[in-house]
Structure 1
Amino acid sequence: MNFRPPAPSPVLVVLSGPSGVGKDAVLARMKENRLPLQYVTTVTTRAQRPGEQDGLDYHFSSREEFKKLLDQDELLEWAEVYGNFYGVPKAPVRESLKQGRDVVVKVDVQGAASIKKIAPDAVFVFLLPPSLEELTRRLSRRLTESPETLKRRLDTAPLELAQLGMFDYFVVNNEDKIDQAVAEISAVITAEKARVHPRHVIL
């Protein structure tokens, strides 16, 4: 009898969490560690922050360009957050999965809810702070938003944390243990690829 283990199916990982929890930092460390993943860059109409690179951190877009993508149904999900638009382009996700590559997209909690409706077989990972107090401290020290925007983020954080039940996994992002968070996300992906009944994302 000839036997071969089944080939693992590619997974779509949706990484989310409240504003200020460190999604960008975790994603950057995953890239530094050269995890074999395809990273899909979010399109946004918000202003580019100091140190950010267009096409790497985000695809910075005008509202007119964003509306064109929306009209063409070329966004996996999109949302208006704090007065700016964010969206995940469909094409690179679809193409990477077709080629058998695992894909990671980073979205806010509202965006994760939208993707769950379209692609319920994606793997949803919620990045948590060690405490609400720590999240408040991280947001307050960023100095990248106006006082009004900061207040909105602080007011929204408890509501975002309350959406934990929508996700498949949670990973706590302790500020001084970012490698541990990355290792746990990697372990989630490894486990998902070993499922006897794999998830199949169809876009």
Structure 2
Amino acid sequence: MKKMFLMAAAALVMFSCNKEEGKTAASAGFKTAYVDIQKISEDYEEFKDLESKLKIKQEELGRGLAQKAQQWKLDYAEAQQLSASKGPQWSQLKGQELQKREQDIAAEQQTLGKQMQDEVLAQNDSVSKKIKKHIEAYGKKNGYDYIYSTSDVSSIIYAKDGYNITDQILKELNDNYKSTRPAEPAKEEKKK
């Protein structure tokens, strides 16, 4: 009972100290804001371009693999039709060959999947670092003491809308990216 009372008293003292610290921080004029990282990841042009490029690359890499898989299916169907007329020894050898090709296709698919995953992670990490540096520079330039982030796993449960600087950060990021992004070819050149 004494321990519980002491713990409650200690908690009360800590709470009152934190309350006083909060008053001091507020009176000192700390400038804080937060950024919605989820919104930035959805609306940042560089992320969108990166996603498009990676999707195109995945389709290109997958095209060759899909052709191999389709050819394997055709060969398998043909082997099933010929197995009765060619005999059990031929069927067994052909089955081993087809099984080996199927395993090779599966291994290639796994390798390509890992390669794409590694590339996506590396690209996302690079862009995330760029965003973080930009937010840090924005905070210094605009005199913020703290800039918090919010996303699906958020440490901010509530904040006034006035503290949300996501749109300003996003606009600057997109403006900076557009100024460094190579120009897209004209529509007429794309048709060629």
Tell me which interval the TM-score lies in, with the shorter structure as reference length. Answer: under 0.3
- TM normalised by structure 2 equals 0.27
Superposition TM-score, scaled by structure 1 size? 0.26
Q: Which structure shows the bigger proportion of residues in strand conformation?
A: 1
Which has the bigger relative contact order, CA under 8 A and spacing at least 6?
A: 2
